[in-house]
Structure formats: C-alpha cells, structure tokens
Amino acid sequence: MKTSGALLVLLCCCLAETQLRGETISENDITHQGHSGEAENRENEVMGAAERTEAAAPASTQQTCQPDIHAVLREMSALMAEQRVELRYTKTQMEAMETRQKASENKAETVETRLRASENKAETLETRLRASEKTVEEQRVDLRQTDARLTASERLVERLQSENEAQTVNLNLTVSQVEELRREREERRVSFSASLVSSDGGQYFGPFSRPTTLIYRHVFTNTGNAYNPNTGVFTAPVRGVYHFSVFMHGTGHASIPTGVSLHKNEEHVVIAHSHQPSYSVNPSNGASLLLEVGDVVYVKLWPNAWVYDSYNHHTTFSGHLLFPM
C-alpha cells in the first residue's frame, strides 16, 4: 500500500508537472522544436519510473493497484497525445509565422532596396537639376553678355552708318566742289586767237564809210569757246580781267589809212591806226578789261580805212583771261 501510494503521488506529480509545462508552452507560443523533445523525454522518464516501481512491488500489490495505474496511464497517454497534437499545431503555426516573417523581411528588404534606389535616383535627379540650373545661369550670363555685345555692335553700326552718311554727304559735297572747281577751271581756261583770212591768197577789207565789225574766221585757238568765228564777237564766260590785242597789216596810200578800233559793249576802248602814202604799215594796240559775265568785245574797221590779210595771217585778234574776280 505504501508502494502504491508512493507511485500514485509520483504519477500525480508528473501529471501536474506535465500540465504545467503544457500551459507554459501554450502561453509562451513555443518557438523552438526542442521543447517538444524535452516533454517526450520527461514522459519516457515517468513511464520508466512507473514501470520500475511496478516491477519492484509485490505481485499482490500489482494486482490490487493495476486497474488504477492503467487508468492513470491511459489518461496520461491521452493527455500526452493531446500535447503532441498541440505541439504539432504550434510548430506548424510557428513555421507559418516564420515563413510570413521571412516573407515580410524579404518584402521589407525589397522595399528598402527600392527606397534606396529611389533615393539614389532622387539624388541623381537633384544633381542633374543643380547642373541644369548652373548651366541655365551660365547661359543667362552668356545671353546678357551677348546682348551687351549686340547692343554695342548695333551702336557701332549706327555710328558707322552716321559716319558713312556724313562721309557720303561730304563726298557729294566734294564731288560737287570738284565739279564746280572743274567748271571754274574750265571757265578760267579762256583764250583765243584768230586771223581774217582762212584760205590761201590775200584780201583787202574796206574801206567802208561806216565802222564795220571785222570777222576773224581763221581760228588758231579757242579754249573755252568764248569767241564766235561767225560773228567775230568774244563773250566773257566768267567775271574777271581779260587782255585783248589787235595786230594788222596795210599798204601805204595817199588817201586811205589803215586802222581798227577795239570795242566793249558798244563802247570804244582803243584804236590802232596808221597812214602813210607808200610802203607797208603794221599798227597794233591792246588793253586789259574787267568784264562781267556776258560782256562782249569785238573789233571794228575804222571808217574809210582798210586792212590786209593773207595766208601769212598778218591781221589778228587775240584775247585771254588773266584771272577771275
């Protein structure tokens, strides 16, 4: 009886300890497979102790306590089976939780990797943005410099255009002045000389009862075309001082002299006259006159006088501009 009581106490203690361990495992959500192994070892130890106690007890005692021990053992076996099922379920849950945790960790790692990639990309974009802003600022500076250079160039072009226009005006003035100087030079280049006879042979002109204008048709020179060989009249092209001279040839005669007079605008200026009964005579004369533009100068044969000319050109009328006024 003592032995049976001791065995029962031992079994109750083992059962209580097993239940206590099972509750502890259930409450703490067993996380490792080794806990189930320890429970099985303890059950085996309890079973071995029970078997040894039963073997050591007297046969009479075994017969008396055998039904109770078997009942306890059956209960313990059922309890152990429940514990095994619960342990398997807990293990399955743990494995599922570990799988989910690993999946969550992998997902977290993936998210972290993507986050880092996004951060790197953002840093790259920020760097590129700063570079772009720097480039834009440099381009703005270049644009301002280009604008300043363009403005300076435009001002230079305007100044050059103004200078060119001024030079064009000056050139036009210069051209006009040159033309005027050329015209004045041409006008200042006034000179003529002519004789009465324009062909071979000799000829007497006169005598006439009235003063008659002599026409010197044989022209030696007529610079400026101021002398008209058709009328024998010189017309002043510019205002200035002119010098005129007349030379003639005549034959001595008792009653016919040789003489001519120089006239300016119907005014008598000078006379060249000679009278002798024989031999040849060669009177001459000249004068410097201030003429206005359009004034005329010509030579008239003296009344009742004559002159002679031939291919030797004895009788001439000449004039030229000394200087303009």
- Concatenate the DSSP letters of all residues of 33-88 into one string: THHHHHHHHHHHHHHHHHHHHHHHS-HHHHHHHHHHHHHHHHHHHHHHHHHHHHHH
pLDDT recorded at residue 172: 77
In a domain, 76, yes or no: yes
Cβ within 8 Å of residue 192, ≥6 positions away: 219, 220, 221, 222, 223, 224, 226, 227, 234, 318, 319, 320
User: Nearest to residue 213, comparing CAs of 261, 284, 251?
Assistant: 261
CA distance 76 to 19: 10
Show pLDDT as tens, one digit a residue, over the chain (325 residues): 444 454 555 565 555 555 545 444 444 443 344 444 554 555 555 455 555 544 544 444 444 556 678 888 888 889 999 899 999 999 999 999 999 999 989 998 999 999 999 899 999 999 999 998 999 999 999 999 998 999 999 999 999 988 888 888 877 777 888 887 777 776 678 999 999 998 777 899 999 999 999 999 999 999 999 999 999 999 999 999 999 999 999 999 999 999 999 999 999 999 999 999 999 999 999 999 999 999 999 999 999 999 999 999 999 999 999 999 8
Query: Same domain, yes or no, for 201 and 311?
Result: yes
Task: Look at residue 158 and tell me if it is in a domain.
Answer: no
Q: Within a domain: residue 200?
A: yes
pLDDT on residue 27? 41
User: What is the amino acid identity at position 100?
Assistant: R
In a domain, 294, yes or no: yes
What confidence score (pLDDT) does residue 198 get? 81
Q: What is the pLDDT of residue 60?
A: 46
Into how many domains does the chain fold? 2
Query: Does residue 251 belong to any structural domain of this protein?
Result: yes
Same domain, 208 and 319: yes
Q: Which of residues 88, 114, 140 is at a domain's end?
A: 114
CB 319 within 8 A of CB 228: no
Report yes or no on 236 lying in a domain. Answer: yes
* 194 and 320 housed in the same domain: yes
Please tell me whether residues 202 and 317 are part of one structural domain.
yes
> Are residues 108 and 195 located together in one domain of the fold?
no
Same domain flag for 310 and 202: yes
Read off the CATH number of the domain in which 264 is found. 2.60.120.40
**Domain edge (last residue) among 114, 148, 164:** 114
Is residue 306 situated within a structural domain? yes
State the residue range of the domain holding 11: 2-114
Which residue stretches of the chain are H helix?
Answer: 2-28, 34-56, 59-188
| Pair 218, 311 in one domain | yes
pLDDT of residue 201: 79
- Residue 10: per-residue pLDDT: 59
The CA dihedral of 125, 130, 135, 136, to the nearest 10 degrees, is: 100
Residue 25 lies in a domain: yes
Residues 202 and 288 in one domain: yes
Indicate the residue among 81, 114, 147 that finishes a domain: 114
User: Could you tell me the pTM of the whole model?
Assistant: 0.49
d(CA 226, CA 169): 34
- In this predicted structure, what is the pLDDT of residue 18? 52
Is the domain of 197 the same as that of 308? yes
**What integer pLDDT is reported at residue 62 of this predicted model?**
47
